[in-house]
Amino acid sequence: MNVRTREKVPTIAELTARFPITDELKRQVMRDRSELRNILSGKDDRFIVIVGPCSAWPSPAVLSYAGQLASLEKILSDRLKIVMRVYTQKPRTTTGWTGPAIQPDPFTHPDMAVGLRHVRSLMSEVVSLGLAISDEALFPHVTRGTLDLLSWVAIGARSTEDQERRIFASALDLPVGMKNPTSGSIGIGVNSIIAAQHRHAMVMDGLQIETNGNEHAHLVLRGGETGPNYSRAHIEQAATLLNRSSITNPAIIVDASHDNCRDRGKKDPHRMIDVVKSVLGTRKENVSHNWVKGIMLESFLQTGNQCIDGKRIEEVDMTGLSITDPCLGWQETETLLRYIHTHC
């Protein structure tokens, strides 16, 4: 094969042994997963909000954000189920930084041995604050190293048509959001849910296994090349396709970021506010639109983002300004979460 061996990375067993979680935190994660399942299946009428940095870097700023979110979550938990984005794996359209799990220091070479230990430690700290957390399952081996800490997982727009990711989702025993692809096709997004909810055969750790299917795999609308797809018409189209496909626990989460918040071709984080208000308005128009169970937001301590290409680390703002997609700042986020709490 056309590869070079760099170093040995820790196994799943080595990672979990080095950074174990307490029985109390295990129960917390199981409870968070159960609550999310109940919301997706209609047994709990709260609204899911998956919110946090586009990418979980740098750690001090991520932990500062987590502390503020944990305090607000306690106030809003009667109507909202808040899940923090601790996204450590970043897909790229072509090339670029693939997240702290692969390259924990964006200014040096990739080091997955360090990265895998780093992200497990970071996630453990966030969970210990009482928050449910999420990540994108870009690299299944990486996700398995933190799986016991996660309450929600995304299969991203560039992965949702990939058979391995669909089967991986089928093997998971926690809610998985299947995004529509970058084309914007809602039909392909629904196909990915059908695949994830069914049984499959796969190879894992040198064994042939059979997945049980994930009945809480659900659709995430994130827009696409043809434009946004959060409108009433798009939600009705998605609901029709889910119903026609006999999906178990049909549910939709709207990603207010990505191609749903583009303005003249550029991502505008403030458009996320408009997306949220539109989606909540659609839900109120007709009870059938209650298939929309939640919203996703990209948010950090500061508004916007920064480019680090060609910069030294001392030239980068380390106080919670995204180095990937633009985010809402904390004050805007708190105001928006309180608005959702009042209007959901």
Note the pLDDT tens digit of each residue in 269-286: 999 999 999 999 999 887
Chain mean pLDDT for the chain: 95
Sign of CA dihedral 33, 36, 42, 46: positive
pLDDT at 173 over 80: yes
The CATH T-level fold of domain 16-343 is TIM Barrel (3.20.20)
pTM of the model: 0.97
Cα separations in angstroms, 50 against 41, 54, 107, 182, 301: 17, 11, 29, 20, 16
In this predicted model, what pLDDT tens digit does every residue of 47-91 receive, in sequence order?
999 999 999 999 999 999 999 999 999 999 999 999 999 999 988
Domain range summary for the chain, segments of one domain joined by +: 16-343
Strands 80-85, 47-52: parallel, antiparallel or unpaired by DSSP?
A: parallel
pLDDT band at 289 (very low <50, low <70, confident <90, very high): low
Residue 253: beta bridge partners? 220, 294
Task: For residue 94, count other CB atoms closer than 10 A to its CB.
Answer: 4
The per-residue b/e assignment along 123-151, b for 16 or more CB within 10 angstroms, e otherwise, is: bbbbbbebbbbbbbbbbbebbbbbbbbbb
Measured distance CA(39)–CA(195) in Å, rounded: 22
pLDDT band at 296 (very low <50, low <70, confident <90, very high): very high
